[in-house]
Structure 1
Amino acid sequence: MQPSGLVVADDLTGATDTGHEFAARGLRTLVSARGKSTDADAGTDVRVVDTDSRYADPSDAAARVERAVGDDGYAFVYKKVDSTLRGNLVAEVDAALDATGADIALVAPASPRNGRTTVEGFHLVEGVPVAETDAGNDPERPVETSHLPTRFAASTFPVVRLAVNRVAAGAATVAADVEATAREGRTVVVADAAHERHLEAIAAGAARAECDVLYVGSAGLARYVETPSPAADGPPSVPRRERSVLCVVGSTNPATRAQVRALPDSSVVPLALETAVESPERASKDAAAACADRLSESGLAALVSAPDADAPNRAVEAGRRLGVDESTVRERVSESLAEAVRRLWRDCGDAPESLFVTGGAVAADAFEAVDAAGVLLTGESVEEGIPLGRIAGGLADGTPVVTKAGAFGTPGAIRKCAARLGGRDDFE
Structure 2
Amino acid sequence: MYAVEVVADDLTGAMDTSQGFAARGYATTVVVDPQAKMDAIEEDAAVLGINTDSRYDDKADAVDAVSTVVEETSSRTIYKKVDSTLRGNFAAEVDAALAASGAELALVAPAFPSAGRTTEDGVHYVKGTPVAETEYGDDKKGPTSSSLADLFKSIDRPVENVPLSTITDGHDEVAAAITEIVERNDRAPIIICDAVEDTHLAGAAKATTDVNTLYVGSAGLAEQIIVPGADADTRLSPQLRDGAALGVAGSVSETTLSQLERVSTDAVIQIDGPTLLKDKDLDDIVEQAVHRLRDNQPVVLTAATDDKDVDRTLAAGEEQELTSSEIREQIAAGLAKTAAAVLQDETPSGLLLTGGDIAVAVIRELGATAVTLTGEEVEAGIPIGMFADGATAGMPLVTKAGGFGSEETIVNCLDVLSQTDA
Task: State TM-score, norm by structure 1.
Answer: 0.94
Aligned to 1:307: 305
Distance 1:286 1:43, change over 3 A: farther
Superposition map of 1:77-88 within 5 A: 77-88=78-89
1:398 paired to 2:400: no
2:71 maps to a residue whose letter is G
Aligned to 1:367: 363
Unmatched tracts of structure 2, length 5 or more: none
Task: Give the one of 192, 199, 202 matched to 2:201.
Answer: 199
Aligned to 1:268: 268
Deviations 1:122-172 (A, max 9, x none): 11111101000011111x223210011001111132211111111111111
Query: Structure 1 residue 5: deviation in Å?
Result: 0.9
Higher helix share: 1
Q: Distance in 2 between matches of 1:180 and 1:51?
A: 33
1:223 paired to 2:219: no
Q: Give SS of 2:157's match.
A: coil
Aligned to 2:290: 292
Query: Structure 1 residue 378: deviation in Å?
Result: 0.8
Distance 1:200 1:41, change over 3 A: same
Superposition map of 1:222-241 within 5 A: 222-231=222-231, 234-241=234-241
1:120 paired to 2:121: yes
1:336 paired to 2:334: yes
- Calculate the aligned-residue CA RMSD, in Å: 1.6
Unmatched tracts of structure 1, length 5 or more: none
Structure 1 contact 277–319 (Cα < 8 Å) conserved: yes
Structure 2 contact 24–232 (Cα < 8 Å) conserved: no
Q: Give SS of 1:288's match.
A: helix
Structure 1 contact 41–47 (Cα < 8 Å) conserved: no
Runs (4+) off by over 6 Å: none
Query: Structure 1 residue 27: deviation in Å?
Result: 0.3
1:304 maps to a residue whose letter is T
Moved more, 37-46 or 160-169: 37-46
Aligned to 1:417: 413
Query: Structure 1 residue 352: deviation in Å?
Result: 2.3
Aligned to 2:32: 33
Query: Structure 1 residue 319: deviation in Å?
Result: 2.0
Q: Distance in 2 between matches of 1:151 and 1:127?
A: 19
Q: Distance in 2 between matches of 1:14 and 1:370?
A: 20
Q: Give SS of 2:68's match.
A: helix
Query: Structure 1 residue 320: deviation in Å?
Result: 3.3
Q: Give SS of 2:373's match.
A: strand
Structure 1 contact 3–41 (Cα < 8 Å) conserved: no
Distance 1:341 1:313, change over 3 A: same
Q: Give SS of 2:209's match.
A: helix
Q: Distance in 2 between matches of 1:401 and 1:132?
A: 33
Structure 2 contact 384–397 (Cα < 8 Å) conserved: yes
Q: Give SS of 1:118's match.
A: strand
Deviations 1:59-79 (A, max 9, x none): 111111122223443221110
Query: Structure 1 residue 416: deviation in Å?
Result: 0.9
Q: Distance in 2 between matches of 1:37 and 1:6?
A: 16
Aligned to 2:45: 44
Superposition map of 1:178-193 within 5 A: 178-183=178-183, 184-185=185-186, 186-193=188-195
Structure 2 contact 239–395 (Cα < 8 Å) conserved: no
Aligned to 1:162: 162
Q: Give SS of 2:407's match.
A: coil
Structure 1 contact 62–91 (Cα < 8 Å) conserved: yes
Aligned to 2:384: 388
Task: State TM-score, norm by structure 2.
Answer: 0.95
Distance 1:128 1:233, change over 3 A: closer
Deviations 1:322-381 (A, max 9, x none): 343433222211110111122223x32x33231000001110111111111121111111
Q: Give SS of 2:295's match.
A: helix
Deviations 1:376-411 (A, max 9, x none): 111111111111010111121111000001111111
Deviations 1:280-316 (A, max 9, x none): x524x44333321221233311101211121110101
Aligned to 2:322: 324
Q: Give SS of 1:154's match.
A: coil
Structure 1 contact 278–322 (Cα < 8 Å) conserved: no
2:94 maps to a residue whose letter is V
Moved more, 23-32 or 184-193: 184-193
